[in-house]
Structure 1
Amino acid sequence: MRRRTFLGAAAAPVLAAAPVLAGCSGGSKASGPRRPLRFQSLAWQAESVRANKALVAEWNRQHPRSPVEYVQGAWPTVHDQLLTAFEGGEAPDIIHDASDDLADFAYGGYLADLTGLLPDRLAADIPRHSLRTGTFQGRLYGVPFLQEPRVLIANRKLLRAASRVRVPTPDRPWSWAEFRAAAKKLTRDGGRDGHQYGVAWPLKEPVSATLNLALSTGGRLFHRRADGRAEVRFEAADQVVPRTVHDQVHADGSAARATLGMGGSDTLPGFFAGRYAMVPLGFSYRQQIVQQAPKGFEWTVLPAPMGSAHAQGVSPQTLSIAADCPRKEEAMAFLAFLLRPENMARLALGDWMLPTGTEALRDPRLRVVKYGWATGTALAGTLRAAPAQSVRGYPEWKDKIATPGLQEYYSGAIGPTELRNRLVEDGNLVLARYQR
């Protein structure tokens, strides 16, 4: 799915893919000035792949002297594959990735600075807080174009049957305390159909969900010191979300412990069976629900709980240009074409996500009540750059420190003091190696 593993990709597939992607550094004299620019897309859903390929074909019909070749990439291996391609001088010209994967490539000099290349229309259309997700040290290295809020997918029938549970709206979301209380009321013991939990937390990869939702309470976890270096602090605002999840599992009994090691898709059969009343998921999971839900199953999209900050962290999908690309202006022209409002909306619909552009967000197809589209577009204004966006060493901190630490905390194996020691003390030792 869209959850990505940045480290540990197998070497053989990466090396095998590199010759296919050759293009950025090798195509000047040897293959002529009009070789196709290589566009590596990470689209994977059938609708999204069709939309991307159709737009490439449309561009090629309109610009026969500046052709673009579509190259299929994959989310699970993209970080290591790109690193190998960059170091070998064989990277694609136009690169589809995610903003939380760009820092090492940007600081390493592998990506072109797009600040002076970005057309005024795009600069004005994409909000500044979105553009900041692709900005490092004041330079733009990735243009954000698709984003995905985390929402609550709820069983409408169970929600309706629960007494005294206020249904949240984007204008009046639940507070974290209200969410905890609602999950308790949606929990039922025994009976002919077995136990019904108020919520299922799929936290096989717990870090991004925890950090991005903690932004709603003012939590940032990563802070900049006076010398510009990043450090980890686990303060009161950072602890609200993880403590809520922990207490729902171990104190309230309103969250299913068995789902903590699951991915989002793994929870859907239990959700359809009525075992879980709500599941926090990325907005794009709605497509799977539409495809897989049994006939007559009623579901709805609710906003995620919010704290005083009324914000949610997000790491948008981005488009970048390789630093070695010999025709950066042409690459940007294609990028600008791909991100015209009508095309950005088309890509968003194909991926069941939200566009970053304000014009594309006005597309009527993204504002219908059906399948929760209107709820998603109403949340677009609350999305902000994920706290870890520009932190060097974040992938290692996430994989070696935060992931096992949060998994053990949520399972009950360690307490809050040990979690803090790992995230802060061990975590800062990791970050220090990247900031010398």
Structure 2
Amino acid sequence: MRTRWTVLLVLSLLLAGCTGGGDSGTGPITLRFQSLAWQEESVQATKDLVREWNASHPDVKVEYVQGSWDSVHDQLLTSFEGGEAPDVIHDASDDLADFAYGGYLADLTDLLPERLRADIPRRSWETTTFGDGIYGVPFLQEPRVLIANATWLKESGVRNPTPERPWSWAEFRDITARLSGDGRYGVAWPLKDPVSATLNLSLSAGGQLFHRGADGRVTVRFGAGDEVVPRTVHDQVGVDGSAPGSLLGSGGSDTLPGFFAGKYAMVPLGFSYRQQIVQQAPEGFDWQVLPAPAGADGLTQGVSPQTLSVAEDSPHREEAVAFIDFLLRPRNMVRLALGDWMLPTGTRALADPALHTTKDDWATGTALAAHLRPAPAQSVRGYPEWKDKVATPAFQEYYSGSIGLGDLHRRLEEDGNLVLARYQR
């Protein structure tokens, strides 16, 4: 009898050791949520929503974990391989392909509530669809716009573009040339990441670059539509002298001091940079948001929305999706969008009056939402390697004048297709 009770005691201790922290059935479930929010308003909005969830869901607690955009890909890969991934993962859609195809993310197709599925447009869902599965919920996005010195443009007499009547790429080049001279430039291009900016803007000119064949294989073809944006930037720097070559390797924030000092009439930036401008612009500095130039396909441009995914190894997928659904209720999605100075993907949130004000030019950005499409590289396996090893150095050399358009064409296609082929065997 004593032996029997000893065995039962040992088994009970072993079972207790295998079920910890809310998984024992006697305490709340704990979900780890890794957020990449970094701006003060965004972090506060996200943490407030986590607190509200925890206050109203005693059986499912969420632990907020702070991540970083600078290191998220490598950090997630390490956590996936080590079996320590957070349950709910904040990322961007252009970072999901390899994780989705690699089996690290849960397919949410049968887990998503109909309200959430219906509220977000199909074009946004395409950014997180890989094969037959949905591996993330796209929730925040931002168009690339022109931030302009309003006083400079008004004094120059150039036509003010609007979403209804934007500049063409040719008109944009002519105007930046007119605005340049005496040590001042019509535009400053911060192209620390030249690939995503070029590819996303090229959709307006009909560029696509990546083409999927009937066999499902993706190849690079650099066509006439793909040439328009890079040729414009190249000629503004190397032919017209309307853009400084010294800033090509800079980030967006690096251009702001010169912009405020009156060195550049315009800077192409993500819509969320308005927050930095509001915080940093000198008193009396008058600025405005203009739509990016339009091409054969109008104002169309590619975006890679911020996303929320669930780890494949999470034992609490349904609870994780319920938390995502809570975060992305229309009112909450608006709070997250305002905190990040970005646009929500949800149609009900996008209709909120707070996102249609003339203050800080919210209305201009919101008018561009219908023109946003999945970034060209969205579902391309091997894109990170192609971008780092082939496209980034090729675009940098072309924009600096080290190589011509023919060499850019050859390297993107020939060298690029060799890279992509390794991922499609």
Category of TM-score, reference length = shorter chain: over 0.9
Give per-residue Cα distances to partners, 1:354-376, cap 9 Å, x unaligned.
00000001111111011110001
Does structure 1 retain, via aligned residues, the 8 Å contact 2:41–2:339? yes
Q: Provide the secondary structure at the position in 1 that maps to 2:71.
A: helix
Deviations 1:210-264 (A, max 9, x none): 0000000110100012211111010111000000000111111111111111111
Indicate which of 177, 181, 189 corresponds to 1:188: 181
Distance 2:235 2:327 in 1: 45
Q: Aligned pair 1:288/2:276, yes or no?
A: yes
Q: Quote the residue 2:6 is aligned against.
A: none
- Tell me the alpha carbon deviations over residues 76-95 of structure 1, each in whole angstroms, 9 at most, x when there is no partner: 11000000100111100000
Conservation of the 8 A alpha-carbon contact between 1:42 and 1:74: yes
1:57 aligns with 2:40: no
Counterpart-to-counterpart distance in 2, 1:75 and 1:398: 17
Residue of 154, 165, 172 corresponding to 2:165: 172
What amino acid is the match of 1:159?
A: L
Aligned to 1:151: 145
Q: CA RMSD in A?
A: 1.0
Partners of 1:28 and 1:308 in 2: how far apart?
60
Q: Does 1:333 align with 2:327?
A: no
What one-letter code is carried by the residue in structure 1 that aligns with 2:186? G
Q: Amino acid of the residue matched to residue 100 of structure 2?
A: A
Residue in structure 1 matched with residue 7 of structure 2 by the alignment: none
Q: Is the 8 A contact 2:29 2:59 kept in 1?
A: no
Task: Name 1:5's counterpart in structure 2.
Answer: none
Q: Superposition pairs for residues 43-122 of structure 1, below 5 Å?
A: 43-122=37-116
**Paired residue type of 2:304:** S
Aligned to 2:354: 365
- Overall identity of the aligned pairs, in %: 73
Which residue pairs with 2:33 in the alignment? 39
Gaps of 5+ in 2: 1-16
Instruction: Report how many residues are paired.
Output: 404
CA distance in 1, matches of 2:22, 2:140: 34
Rounded Cα–Cα distance in structure 1 between residues aligned with 2:367 and 2:297: 16
Shift of 1:29: 2.0
Matched, 1:30 2:46: no
**Secondary structure of the residue that 1:40 maps to in structure 2?**
strand
The CA deviation at 1:185 is 1.5
TM-score (ref. length: structure 1): 0.91
Report Cα offsets for 1:40-68 as digits up to 9, x if no partner: 00000010000000000000000011111
The residue identity in structure 2 corresponding to 1:227 is D
Matched, 1:318 2:311: no
SS at match of 2:60: coil
Determine the C-alpha separation between the residues in 2 that align with 1:273 and 1:378: 29
For the pair 1:228 / 2:216, whether they are aligned, the reply is yes
Match of 1:374 among 352, 363, 366: 363
Query: Which has the higher mean CA deviation after the structures are superposed, 378-387 or 30-39?
Result: 30-39
Show the counterpart of 1:218. Answer: 206
Equivalent residue, structure 1, for 2:374: 385
Q: Equivalent residue for 1:404?
A: 393
> What is the rounded CA distance, in whole Å, between the counterparts of 1:47 and 1:32 in structure 2?
31
User: For 1:357 and 1:245, how far apart are their aligned partners in 2?
Assistant: 33
Q: Partners of 1:119 and 1:303 in 2: how far apart?
A: 34
Sort the Cα spacing of 1:45 and 1:92 in 2 relative to 1 into closer, same or farther, 3 A.
same
Tell me: CA distance 1:37–1:244, structure 2 relative to 1, closer, same or farther (3 Å): same
User: Separation in 2 of the partners of 1:426 and 1:366?
Assistant: 43
Aligned position for 2:156: 162
Determine whether 1:254 maps to 2:242.
Answer: yes
Q: Map 1:125-144 to 2 at 5 A.
A: 125-144=119-138
Offset at residue 28 of structure 1 (A): 7.0
Which deviates the most, 106-115 or 32-41?
32-41
Question: Do 1:28 and 1:326's aligned partners in 2 also have CA atoms closer than 8 Å?
Answer: no
The residue type equivalent to 1:170 in the other structure is P
Q: Does the 8 Å CA contact 1:152/1:280 hold for their aligned counterparts?
A: yes
Deviations 1:119-157 (A, max 9, x none): 111111100000100110121101000001000000001
Whole-Å Cα distance in 1 between the matches of residues 136 and 164 of structure 2? 31
Query: Is the 8 Å Cα contact of residues 207 and 223 (structure 2) preserved in structure 1?
Result: yes
Q: 2:413 aligns with which of 424, 429, 436?
A: 424
What is the identity, as a one-letter code, of the residue corresponding to 2:217? R
1:17 alignment partner in structure 2: none
Alignment deviations for residues 354-399 of structure 1 (CA, whole Å, 9 cap, x no partner) = 0000000111111101111000100000000001000000000001
- Is contact 2:21-2:30 (8 Å) kept? no
Query: What runs of 5+ residues in structure 1 fail to find an aligned partner?
Result: 1-26, 190-194
Match of 1:205 in 2: 193
Tell me the TM-score normalised to structure 2 length.
0.94
**1:103-123 CA deviation, whole Å, 9 max, x = no partner?**
000000110111111111111
Report the residue type matching 2:35 in the other structure: S
Per-residue CA shift, 1:266-303, capped at 9, x if unaligned? 01011001100000000011111001100000000000
Identify which range, 391-400 or 253-262, moves more after superposition.
Answer: 253-262
In structure 1, distance between residues paired with 2:122 and 2:252: 30
Shift of 1:35: 3.6
Q: C-alpha displacement at 1:181, in angstroms? A: 1.1
The structure with the largest alpha-carbon Rg is 2
Instruction: Measure, in 2, the Cα distance between the counterparts of 1:328 and 1:306.
Output: 42
- Partners of 2:29 and 2:325 lie apart in 1 by 20
